Structure 1
Amino acid sequence: MSKKTKGITRRDFLNGTQIAIGASLLSPWLLACGSDVPNFTLPPEYYPPAKTGLRGSHDGSWETMHARVSGQTWEAAQVEAQYDLVVVGAGISGLSAAWFYRQKHPQAKILILDNHDDFGGHAKRNEFEHNGENRIGYGGTEAIDTPSAYSPQAKQLLKDIGIELQKFYQNFDQELYPSMQLSKSILFGAESFGENKLVRGYGSRDWQEFAADTPMSDKARRDFVRVQTERVDYLPGKSFEQKYQILKNTSYETFLRDYAKVDEQVIAIYKRWGMSFWCVGIDEIPTTSIQDYDGGMPGVEHTLPRTGKRGDEPYIFHFPDGNASVARLLVRSLNPAAVPGDSMEDVVTTRVQYAKLDRSQQPVNIRLNSTAVHVKNVDTTQVHITYVRNNTAHKVSAKHCIMACYNSAIPYLCPDMPAVQKKGLAYNVKVPLVYTKVLVPNWQAFAKLGTDFVYYTDGFYKQVELAYPVSVGDYKRSQTPDEPMVLHMCHVPWVPEKSGPEQWREGRRRILTTSFDTFEQNVYTQLNQALASTGFQAERDIRAITVNRWPHGYAYSPDLIWEPQWAHEHQ
């Protein structure tokens, strides 16, 4: 531990170092679950949400699958158990699949396998303790987004597991930060603007006044104000349909440069604006897609009226741990003993009994730290599933198997599937991103600056923001700036010299080989850049850091500028 990190109570035991494929990756918890512990039951002290350091797709969760892709195989001597259903993947989709199956087959014997040390997949829960108080953050999937657009089946599932969406209108304090006059700030980076300068009040004060405080050139300031304020149609004389087709094939960067004709420094402000959503720069995002983002983008509204695809429903359907509470409610419905309680309120603060997730006498078991490596139809009545746990191969049999894992992995797990299906599954390259959570003892620095969100035009992290002000049941949001806060920071391994899936493959390699110290040092640097004027000192004031790296994160948006127009989209 370096001198700079003396006050930080966290370290992943591998500390971000890439480990050779096939190496032993055994935590003390996993070692405790060897042959002496029947039925893979976890020890009572097992509790992954409290782990800090490198999380998300943590070391130990991905090496076996990477070895499988590289050609390694495993053989299990015999079938150890039989099930009605085996689900590969204990994320929300896998848990939901098991839930729907059980609705039709209440007596079914089900096994759910997952390669991570926790259930939920991308819905990752991060916990921190500060002076005896538990603070919670989301390490991945953050909200139930636009639930009014959900299918009837999805809406019914949420209701059946105990989620009452109307309660979020009371749980989420939409007025807290505005009532404190907190608004978005931009930290103009030296790389693009010659100096690091924080400018407050983006969108909340006069544009001319905001521009005057920036380190932009005089021309860029004028163009910035113009594109924010003028009611200009940059495609005069064309119908809405004609405009839509043009702008659907025009990146927002091109729109700003060729239609709005703004200075390059204005483009430099927005180059990473939607990166936490699309995980690419604005050179790859169509103008029609980004126009509704973040309340509307400058220059577009008077050319193409907003369609209202996003923004009609408030973004408030958020648990303190994001959708990890949704996963917890699903697990509770499948195995009530593992998740004590009976409401959407108490699921936030209850302590999951991981030792009860996988016991031979119960009908539904969730087996963590277990990577599926081979799935094969033996005949029309059974499937054999081989998985690796603790470097040992195991085989089970099932009447049915649902693959609720990364699509691109399935061709390697199911080599007998048709070539056309393999090709389709391999097409979707998931985009890499990192959610870093930072525990600070108070958020006075943000209150003094009058900001709840800082966007960085340059730098490792794209943004830092205060936690959503949500209270659920006994868990209360940070009430005042004197109370502890879990900050959210987002990093996307952007590779601007590449486009499409190639940049994501390179980005995935980068985050898997980036040490925890690198993530940590960039947290220090960028928080000091934004907050030092208030007396904040990152090395002194940060209490804990959890880095949730997702080398296989979002399924990318099919509307990106280079994506082909598929025939079925015209139907």
Structure 2
Amino acid sequence: MSKITRRDFINGTLMATGASMLPFGASSHAVLAALEPSYYPPALTGLRGDNVESYTDAHSKALARKSSWGTVTDLREEYDLIVVGGGISGLSAAFFYQQKHGKDKRVLILDTHADFGGQCARNEHTFGDATRVMFGGSQTIVSPHARSQTTLKLLKDLGIDLDRLKAGFDVDFYKRHNLRGVTYFNKRKFGEDKVVKHPFCCYQRFVEGLQRPELSHEEAVKQTPLSDRGKEQLLRVLKGGVHLLDVPQEKLEEYINTHSYFDYLKNTLGVDDPGVLEMARNSCIDNLGEGADVTTIADALSTGGLGFDPAMLKDVMGEKAYKTYIKEHGYIMVDEDPYVHHFPDGNASLTRLLVRKMIPNVGPGNSFEDIVLSKFDYSELDKSSNIVRLRLNSTAVKVTHDGDPENSKGVFVNYIHDKKAYQVKGKGVVMACYNVMIPHIVPNLPEEQATALSRTMRIPLFYTTVGLRNWRAMKVMEIGVAISPGNMHQAVLMDFPVSLGGHNCTKGPDDPCTILMVGCPYGDTVGAPPIEQFREARFKMLSLQFEDYEKEIREHLTGMLPKESFDFDRDVASITVNRWSHGYGYRGTALFDSDLSDMVTKGRKPFGRITIANIDSGMSSYIHVAIDQAWRAVKELG
């Protein structure tokens, strides 16, 4: 391992657990103040996201049924609202509560992670005196103009100008540098390292301005390392489509929503080549979350699966149904409202705007643009003088009413910090955490509700951000997006070309940049039920050490990029692996878990002075759903 990656691993591990190595007094402010100025999670590299410390106590509670962490210290802190979970939904709930009831209302936000924001994670990569910010999770405000009035009002209250945000995306960047979608076939899976300048699938279609392939399907297929049989079948897939289904037009939408994409490949197109099926399984990646082996034709179509163009979705659904789909679910492939509403650090800027609104002393500035470079002082988050306090590295393990739930006036919350138990009290609680944990944390839930919440499932994924001292090799290979069906990371992307608030995107190949490597791990058995695959993949993902990821990244980039232009030890400055073991919300399909929508409705019901938010309550992975669910939860508290 190189000197740099070893350094990154040490920093990312020890600094992230800094709070755990300091004594905990009567106030968590003392811990955070003691960490200043070094406690700054966005600058950490190595393993991030769901770091080990963030889930150890939760797993002890849910999996090992641990019930005691010793004596519980009553901090004698009382709040108008306690929010469990400091992601976009939890932060929105706190903000909405003060809007509804007054800015004098005291709020405590507890989060188990080393940083706030949940999957709205900010990564910073430093190159000498220069710093590039990058998203380590949630990327974009998807189709913002199709969102609810609740979400649009929140964006307005935060001062976000959607037109200005859109203008920050340099749509000519990819054309100027001749960057396009390519496919990287690695030696381990396909017999040789080979880059073909064609994406084959349409995963990359959401990247605005990315150049179209110059190669025809026929020319591109010839260049692949597939067998002759595989090449013939791949070409058949590329020339296929829903028009080959022997289904009347009026029944087509229902059919594609209830039939398997892999059955379409195998039975309609006659595909059995393992290389082609491997490409297909890995063609939707984080557009979908689960592998394409367990999805419907409709989901494969909408997420750019091998052989499908998402532009066909409107034709299949019809104009009215298509607009309803976008409104309810969000859609990253909408030409009228393109995928360009990015902050340089993705939706981390939204969470930072929320935090700065509620805790003004945390960072300088007063606009949606200056939030990008606003340096936050984390010692301000949990000061006793704050009306809103945000307490990190704190895992809620028990939430109970102070009496009968229907007549209760308050709720006790026990949480773990540095292996010690503490108690606080609120007049109400919004649970904005992973919903499957709620039955383990909130005793005496109605059985039907507890069962419904336990069905909540998230899809594991990891977003690795890599700081490159230059991107000459990416330029030589014309890589804007590299689909990599044989690798742990199935896609490699140049960072979105966004300049905003004084942060400028990379200008040319001699400048530093960040790249994103996307991994959606699947189970070993193709076609196994999704939830089984998620559990298997999650276990494997969390069992890997930083060295394992670094080795894979080294092999991937070295095999894909020309040796004349790229040397890993010379050109890679830093690596941050954002592991989201419970990542995207899973909504099920007609093929698997078709009852999940009913489970969600039952699971999110209020329970006394406890209400439930987060994306799990809306079966989605988009921030507008998290925001809408936060508003519902606040309204239910009264």
Q: What is the CA–CA distance in structure 2 between the aligned matches of 1:327 and 1:299, rounded to whole Å?
A: 33
- Indicate whether 1:252 and 2:271 are aligned: no
Q: What is the CA–CA distance in structure 1 between the aligned matches of 2:156 and 2:449, rounded to whole Å?
A: 34
CA contact under 8 A between 1:79 and 1:397: conserved in structure 2?
A: no
After superposition, where does 1:123-272 map in structure 2 within 5 Å? 123-190=120-187, 192-202=189-199, 204-205=213-214, 206-229=216-239, 233-236=243-246, 238-262=247-271, 264=273, 265-272=275-282
CA deviation vs aligned residue, 1:332-361 (integer Å, no higher than 9, x gap): 111111132111111000101111111111
- CA displacement at 1:490 relative to structure 2: 1.5
- Give 5+ residue unaligned stretches, structure 1: 17-24
- CA displacement at 1:267 relative to structure 2: 2.9
CA contact under 8 A between 1:274 and 1:290: conserved in structure 2?
A: yes
CA contact under 8 A between 1:173 and 1:469: conserved in structure 2?
A: yes
Q: What is the CA–CA distance in structure 2 between the aligned matches of 1:15 and 1:339, rounded to whole Å?
A: 25
CA contact under 8 A between 2:304 and 2:310: conserved in structure 1?
A: no
Q: Point out the more displaced range, 545-554 or 525-534.
A: 525-534
- CA displacement at 1:504 relative to structure 2: 1.2
State the AA in 2 paired with 1:48.
Answer: P
CA contact under 8 A between 2:466 and 2:576: conserved in structure 1?
A: yes
Match 1:280 to one of 282, 290, 315? 290
- CA displacement at 1:433 relative to structure 2: 1.0
Question: Structure 1 residues 314, 560: CA separation in 2 closer, same or farther (over 3 Å shift)?
Answer: farther
CA contact under 8 A between 1:83 and 1:397: conserved in structure 2?
A: yes
Indicate the percent of aligned positions where both proteins have the same amino acid.
32
CA contact under 8 A between 1:377 and 1:384: conserved in structure 2?
A: yes
Match 2:544 to one of 505, 514, 523? 514
SS in 2 for 1:479: coil
Q: Give the match for residue 83 of structure 2.
A: 87
- CA displacement at 1:299 relative to structure 2: 8.1
CA contact under 8 A between 1:249 and 1:561: conserved in structure 2?
A: yes
CA contact under 8 A between 1:442 and 1:484: conserved in structure 2?
A: yes
Q: Give the match for residue 581 of structure 2.
A: 551
- CA displacement at 1:8 relative to structure 2: 6.1
Q: Give the match for residue 327 of structure 1.
A: 351
Q: Structure 1 length as normaliser, TM-score?
A: 0.92
- Give 5+ residue unaligned stretches, structure 2: 200-211, 602-638
State the AA in 2 paired with 1:547.
Answer: V
Q: Structure 2 length as normaliser, TM-score?
A: 0.82
- Indicate whether 1:354 and 2:401 are aligned: no
Q: Point out the more displaced range, 288-297 or 525-534.
A: 288-297
- Indicate whether 1:101 and 2:94 are aligned: no
Q: Point out the more displaced range, 449-458 or 438-447.
A: 449-458
Match 1:56 to one of 45, 49, 54? 49
Q: Point out the more displaced range, 327-336 or 190-199.
A: 190-199
Question: Structure 1 residues 49, 87: CA separation in 2 closer, same or farther (over 3 Å shift)?
Answer: same
- CA displacement at 1:77 relative to structure 2: 4.5
- CA displacement at 1:33 relative to structure 2: 5.6
Question: Structure 1 residues 526, 438: CA separation in 2 closer, same or farther (over 3 Å shift)?
Answer: same
SS in 2 for 1:320: coil
Q: Give the match for residue 386 of structure 1.
A: 414
SS in 2 for 1:305: helix
Q: What is the CA–CA distance in structure 2 between the aligned matches of 1:457 and 1:560, rounded to whole Å?
A: 26
- Indicate whether 1:35 and 2:61 are aligned: no
Q: Give the match for residue 395 of structure 2.
A: 371
Q: What is the CA–CA distance in structure 2 between the aligned matches of 1:97 and 1:435, rounded to whole Å?
A: 26
CA contact under 8 A between 2:287 and 2:303: conserved in structure 1?
A: no
Q: What is the CA–CA distance in structure 2 between the aligned matches of 1:371 and 1:146, rounded to whole Å?
A: 34
CA contact under 8 A between 2:506 and 2:513: conserved in structure 1?
A: yes
- CA displacement at 1:452 relative to structure 2: 1.1
Q: What is the CA–CA distance in structure 2 between the aligned matches of 1:300 and 1:480, rounded to whole Å?
A: 31
- CA displacement at 1:36 relative to structure 2: 7.9
Q: What is the CA–CA distance in structure 2 between the aligned matches of 1:231 and 1:41, rounded to whole Å?
A: 59
- Indicate whether 1:561 and 2:591 are aligned: yes
Q: Give the match for residue 19 of structure 1.
A: none
Q: Give the match for residue 519 of structure 2.
A: 491
Question: Structure 1 residues 246, 565: CA separation in 2 closer, same or farther (over 3 Å shift)?
Answer: farther
CA deviation vs aligned residue, 1:485-539 (integer Å, no higher than 9, x gap): 1111122221131322121112221122111000000000000110034431213
State the AA in 1 paired with 2:49.
Answer: G
CA contact under 8 A between 2:279 and 2:306: conserved in structure 1?
A: no
Q: Point out the more displaced range, 413-422 or 223-232.
A: 223-232
- CA displacement at 1:30 relative to structure 2: 4.1
Q: What is the CA–CA distance in structure 2 between the aligned matches of 1:229 and 1:27, rounded to whole Å?
A: 52
Question: Structure 1 residues 164, 187: CA separation in 2 closer, same or farther (over 3 Å shift)?
Answer: same
CA contact under 8 A between 1:243 and 1:304: conserved in structure 2?
A: no
SS in 2 for 1:478: coil
- CA displacement at 1:155 relative to structure 2: 1.0
State the AA in 2 paired with 1:259.
Answer: T
Q: What is the CA–CA distance in structure 2 between the aligned matches of 1:564 and 1:36, rounded to whole Å?
A: 48
- CA displacement at 1:258 relative to structure 2: 1.4
State the AA in 1 paired with 2:295.
Answer: I
SS in 2 for 1:524: helix
Q: Give the match for residue 20 of structure 1.
A: none
CA contact under 8 A between 1:8 and 1:542: conserved in structure 2?
A: no
After superposition, where does 1:385-464 map in structure 2 within 5 Å? 385-464=413-492
CA deviation vs aligned residue, 1:119-154 (integer Å, no higher than 9, x gap): 101111111110200111111111111222321111
CA contact under 8 A between 1:91 and 1:122: conserved in structure 2?
A: yes
Question: Structure 1 residues 89, 300: CA separation in 2 closer, same or farther (over 3 Å shift)?
Answer: closer
Q: Give the match for residue 523 of structure 1.
A: 553
CA deviation vs aligned residue, 1:374-431 (integer Å, no higher than 9, x gap): 1001131011111111222111111111100010111111011111111111101211
Match 1:291 to one of 297, 301, 313? 301
State the AA in 2 paired with 1:546.
Answer: T
Q: Point out the more displaced range, 413-422 or 190-199.
A: 190-199
SS in 2 for 1:270: helix
Q: Give the match for residue 8 of structure 2.
A: 10
- Indicate whether 1:305 and 2:330 are aligned: no
User: What's the Cα RMSD here?
Assistant: 2.6
CA deviation vs aligned residue, 1:269-296 (integer Å, no higher than 9, x gap): 2220112233322111111112132498
Q: Point out the more displaced range, 256-265 or 170-179.
A: 256-265
CA contact under 8 A between 1:115 and 1:371: conserved in structure 2?
A: yes
Question: Structure 1 residues 174, 297: CA separation in 2 closer, same or farther (over 3 Å shift)?
Answer: farther
CA contact under 8 A between 2:240 and 2:269: conserved in structure 1?
A: no
Question: Structure 1 residues 38, 297: CA separation in 2 closer, same or farther (over 3 Å shift)?
Answer: closer
- Indicate whether 1:539 and 2:569 are aligned: yes
Q: Give the match for residue 317 of structure 1.
A: 341
Q: What is the CA–CA distance in structure 1 between the aligned matches of 2:537 and 2:19, rounded to whole Å?
A: 31
SS in 2 for 1:558: coil
State the AA in 1 paired with 2:342.
Answer: H
State the AA in 1 paired with 2:243.
Answer: D
State the AA in 2 paired with 1:242.
Answer: K
- CA displacement at 1:449 relative to structure 2: 0.9
